[in-house]
Amino acid sequence: MKGTLRYLAGIAGPNGFGSRSTAEQVTQYSFFPCSNLTAIITGGTSGIGAETARVLAKRRVRVVMAVRDMKKAEIVKERIVREIPEADIKLLEIDLSSLSSVARFCCQFLSQDLPLNILINNAGVFSPNLEFSEDKIELTFATNFLGHYLLTEMLKEKMIDTAEKSGIEGRIINLSSVIHSWVNPVCFSFQKLLHPIKYNGTRAYAQSKLATILHAKALSTQLKERNANVTINAVHPGIIKTGIIRAHKGLLTDSLFLIASKLLKSISQGAATTCYVALSNETKGLNGKYFADCNETNCSDLANDESVARKLCTHSHSLIHDYLHQYHIHSLPNLCLM
């Protein structure tokens, strides 16, 4: 109740920002020198992904939009360029539910020899019914977690190299959700994540968002051990009426939205925490943390469990290793070091 009242009041946290802060506000003054920085954002064709792309472009960051629908991406790009004529935006196709598509995207990006300072794993889906990816993996987990896990593994060496050459800290941001705390530890099994026996869309979504935090915890440890000048953190954007939220039919109805309207964030407010963690000087050196309302906060005990994080990433590493060999993708160095 206390947290809900604080949210309704829009009370700012220790850094002066809170649930009502917008992405433009949190990046107006406190951000890295952004010119010559390059950021990849997945799922930037709508919602908070599109707003994140717009705000980063406004702060002079080169933005690579990794998208499934190129036509929608062109429309978003045109809209941003109309507002910000100097915006540098590139579009590359990716289907995060497909391991081979993720690998092709990485090959295409790395062939352009661009630096990579920021990776924002933003894209997400909610599937009310049990569906499987082309790799025969449950669609929500394949898209929200496993595709981003592979993407990060294939690009992290580029990020480490960019940080060494530029002297600027690289930053990886995983989009999570407060509903990660709904996951029952007894039910969190890797094999069940891949092939659920009794499917529930909300549970699958919550589990995928828990996995994104566990990924951040595990990879942050590895990056620290390597003394890499790259951080990874997870963020909860807030409750926004986006396509994913509208897909929760039966759980979150229009009537509930009307009653809880004061709890909902605007898209710009929803993008604020991502943009803050990506660009703020105040988040420098913070690694393996969880943020909400632009402030560091606590995640669930399960999300903090180091053994669970290691186990998840060990299984994930084994899985993507098998698929990389299946698709004969050997051209990229240091793909999987987890």
Which residues are the active-site residues? 199
Measured distance CA(77)–CA(132) in Å, rounded? 31
Q: How many CB atoms are located within 10 Å of the residue 120 CB?
A: 29
Q: Is the dihedral of CA 186, 192, 196, 197 positive or negative?
A: negative
Distance CA 43, CA 68 (A): 8
Q: Across the beta sheet with 290-292, what order do the strands follow?
A: 89-93, 62-67, 38-42, 118-121, 170-175, 230-236, 290-292, 295-297
Question: Which tokens go with 36?
Answer: 């010559």
C-alpha–C-alpha distance, residues 194 and 180, integer Å:
17
